[in-house]
Amino acid sequence: MHILGVSCYYHDSAACLLRDGEVVAAAQEERFTRKKHDSAFPRNAIDFVLREAGIGPADLDLVGFYDKPVLKFSRILETFVSVAPAGLRAWLHFAPSWMRDKLWVADHVRGQLGTYDGPVLFAEHHESHAASAFYPSPFERAAILTMDGVGEWATSSFGVGDGADLSITREIRFPHSIGLLYSAFTYWLGFRVNSGEYKVMGLAPYGEPKFVEKIRDTLIDLRDDGSFRLNLDYFGYLTSLKMTTSKMDELFGRPRRTPESRLEQFHMDVARSIQVVTEEVMLKMAHYAHRESGSENLCLAGGVALNCVGNGRIRREGPFKNVWVQPAAGDAGGALGVAYSLWHRYAGKPRTVDPAGHDAMKGSYLGPGYDDEAIAAVLDEAEAPFELLSWEDMPDHVAGLLADGNVVGWFQGRMEYGPRALGARSILGDPRSEDMQLRMNLKIKYRESFRPFAPSVLAERVSDWFDFDGESPYMLLVDQVADAQKLTAAEGDDALEGIERLKSRRSTIPAVTHVDGSARIQTVTERTNPQYWRLLAAFERRTGCPILINTSFNVRGEPIVCTPADALACFRRTGMDYLVLGRHVLAKTEQPALRDDEKQGALALD
């Protein structure tokens, strides 16, 4: 039985295919179109998952869409009517896309798939999130918590999964939303909504929580059970195309930060404050979910579940013994969730949990992969010199390049599903280097210098280097670097403030240690990614350090690379020293000079 799940028309469109309840393939549309957060109908992603399964549209049994457009449209209409005429401009902005696309999903699916003549079914948005969180998790029974901006009406939901059964027991409803609260501050701090939230989270440790009480007293009424109400006088998303109103400027005594302008200590303090409040909400919701479910297991999904600092606090301080986060926690994961929901809830199929305790996500390596022949064809066409190594020799050779201080583009196996690079489409570096964070941010990623990098670590060695014992395969949990690896602050370091704190060497692995001593950890096992695991093991043999910097293989403003051609283009335009495509190793110094069009692209990125 083949089930296709689809999510689109808002951000991060995606497609997923299940065969008899097993994930065959899943991918975001942006990886194929090269448009970051692409919201268009995922024609390319659908073509890929069908091709990976070796079937055509006529072979599909069911197609599911991740939310209910009519119900969502009724919420939008009701909202605009309730604030009329204030929302007229926003209505005129949104209405055409609804009239053109969003209300006609079933027609679009049939038109795009052509030979498919089965049903097109719809799940509610948070049901899709909940299904993506629970069904592929390693738990037979678990509490489920989903948090995002808004679906149809729900902005957060609480539920319980038990075997193949899943029930949503409580919701928090629009316009009160922890996701929209965080996005409003993302907007007010001068970052882009639905993509800049990571920046707010990364900026927060540079600040102090000076405005926590102001946010609590003025903007949010938070109850002990995790429910809350926002003071809507300060938020513009009901009536305009802006996330905040002038009252937010009055509250903080200054206007919204202009995008790309200088970040001041004030902005860092605001980021820290909203991060702290968000973590408080997440913890209270988790405690409520535990009380109501009685389970020792928690599953998380929704865009707020990508807040790995909050996830880390739930894991450390919450009441649950085990926490599992869907790696594609945002809207892209809705395609997976609706497919699972159709398999278990609509088709009534049973669910079997891996007795060894592994989840069903296959490491989230669910996208396209390319063999030696396909890679060689791209390199030959580009006339790009390379060295071809054996699989046995390659890990040690690349470990030597990294130990010598080189930055390496790493392209191996099937592409990751979700926003994180997990060792398939990654840029790698030596975490022991004092200048590697700055170098990779400014000369390779072309992004803000304050952004932290994550460590990939051999799962067997994680507790030796971090205050963490367990698994974090999807880079969605933050914890502290182990005390044994931290360094005593140098004289004068205590006086450093804001971005200047980057100058302080905080640990033996400074390039992956954030200014508060934390790290966004990815544990790597030989079972899920053997080639990456061997590279980490080879690096440890050379250096004594089982860790590498792992950042996504892309530059600012672009999606993670998908194909060998994407990787080669990114490599040629940036300051990476080496590119490893499968067994093919390319040195920057041996590559032909950039063409004029490539030079212009590199200049624009810089």
Q: What is the CATH number of the domain that holds 475?
A: 3.90.870.20
Dist. CA 126–CA 166, nearest whole Å:
12
pLDDT, block means (10 residues), the chain with 606 residues: 97 97 98 97 98 98 97 92 83 86 93 95 98 98 98 97 98 98 98 94 96 98 96 94 96 96 96 98 98 97 98 96 98 98 97 96 98 98 97 97 97 97 98 89 79 94 97 98 87 65 82 95 97 98 98 94 98 96 97 74 43
Whole domain around residue 567: which residue ranges? 372-605
Residue 602 pLDDT? 53
Strand runs (DSSP E) across 95-250, as ranges? 120-122, 141-147, 154-162, 165-173, 220-222, 228-230
Dist. CA 265–CA 271, nearest whole Å:
10
Residue 290 in domain: no
Strand runs (DSSP E) across 430-488, as ranges? 454-458, 477-480
Longest Cα–Cα distance of the chain, Å, equals: 72
Contact assessment for residue 24 and residue 49, using Cβ atoms and an 8 Å cutoff: yes
Burial of 61 (0-12, 13-18, 19+ CB in 10 A): middle
Dist. CA 542–CA 372, nearest whole Å:
28
Residue 437 in domain: yes
Residue 441 pLDDT? 83
Residue 333 in domain: no
Contact assessment for residue 377 and residue 388, using Cβ atoms and an 8 Å cutoff: no
Whole-angstrom CA distances from 574 to 425, 435, 439, 446, 548 are 15, 17, 11, 9, 20
Q: What is the pTM (predicted TM-score) of this model? A: 0.95
Rg (CA), the chain: 23
Residue 381 in domain: yes
Give me the number of domains the chain comprises. Answer: 1
What's the token pair of residue 565?
């051609």
Helices (H), 210-362: 212-218, 246-252, 265-293, 308-317, 333-341
Residue 561 in domain: yes
Helices (H), 318-467: 333-341, 372-382, 394-403, 436-439, 462-465
Dist. CA 78–CA 296, nearest whole Å:
39
Residue 414 in domain: yes
Residue 566 pLDDT? 98
Residue 601 pLDDT? 54
Residue 510 in domain: yes
Contact assessment for residue 524 and residue 459, using Cβ atoms and an 8 Å cutoff: yes
Residue 606 pLDDT? 33
Residues whose CB falls within 8 Å of the CB of residue 212, separated by 6 or more in sequence, listed in order: 273, 276, 277
Residue 555 in domain: yes
Residue 604 pLDDT? 40
Which DSSP letter does residue 561 get? P
